[in-house]
Structure 1
């Protein structure tokens, strides 16, 4: 899985700073600052790019990802 970090101050993100995407399995994960993860299944690469370029990523999550994709909210995995 490939990961991308977002500067919270630059992007204005309040709930996350890291995402991951597995292109082969079409799994997109948002690593929340509260220790939880939003794991979306069936996510195509185009939607991931739309998320990355969205000016307000938190609104994109609320208004587009959560209503349109299956997801699991879970506690962060301990490595």
Structure 2
């Protein structure tokens, strides 16, 4: 499973929506898919799945708002 597939799987689990990932540039916050509670769940799941640490103090919603942006951030944190 590649990074984007893993992210989409997490987003589907957290939100209960099946159509996530059809547009990897869809703004998950602006479209109401993620709220603050779902964001925390997604971050915890990302940390567990990809063995990364996401400091909450450094979390900037604009950098985590799409599947593509999340994949980029995960890639940076894995390095």
TM-score normalised by the chain length of structure 2:
0.33
Give the TM-score of the pair, scaled to structure 1. 0.33
